Amino acid sequence: MQLSRQGDYAIRTVLELAKVYPETLAIKHIATKQDIPLPFLKKIIQSLAKSGLVETIRGAQGGVKLWSPPEKITLRHIIEAIDGPITINRCLMGENVCFRQPTCAVHRALAQAKQSFLTELEKHSVGSLLAAEAKARNQKTKSQR
């Protein structure tokens, strides 16, 4: 699986919103700060809003904000909001996709790999990613002194 550009931008958008949670940010601010083309960002925010990860607010003081605390949003939530359910192969998409499925060793191996991948994505909340980013920045600052 390769993370789509939209998925990458969505993760960066949610991280930017998490920095000011529960406050609202202007979409233009996010676009500038994260170097994301504004029209592209608007589509990403629509998808994030549709999935319930963000709330959009209209008006002069409008913008976008997270619906939930950063600690409750995982990488899996964000990626699936943009790219849909994560799958490795077509045979893992559901029952009766492949007639070999009941006896296929490859199917079982791929199912295990998919589950491991999903578990890893679920381990990483936006809150934990922000904390790790801050720690890395602090260590870099200390090493430059």
Q: Which domains does the chain have, with CATH numbers?
A: 5-143 (1.10.10.10)
What the block records as the tokens of 129 is: 């990613």
Tokens of 23: 């406050």
DSSP at 69: -
Average pLDDT over residues 126-132: 97
Confidence of residue 140 (pLDDT cuts 50, 70, 90): confident
The pLDDT of residue 112: 93
Per residue in 11-55, pLDDT tens? 999 999 999 999 999 999 999 999 999 999 999 999 999 999 999
Give percent of the chain above pLDDT 70: 97
Q: Tokens 């002194």 belong to which residue?
A: 145
- Once rounded to an integer, what is the mean pLDDT over residues 72-76? 98
Q: Which residue pairs from 42-49 have beta carbons closer than 8 angstroms and sit at least 24 positions apart in sequence?
A: 43/6, 44/6, 44/9, 44/10, 44/13, 44/82, 45/13, 47/6, 47/10, 47/81, 47/82, 48/10, 48/13, 48/14, 48/78, 48/81, 48/82
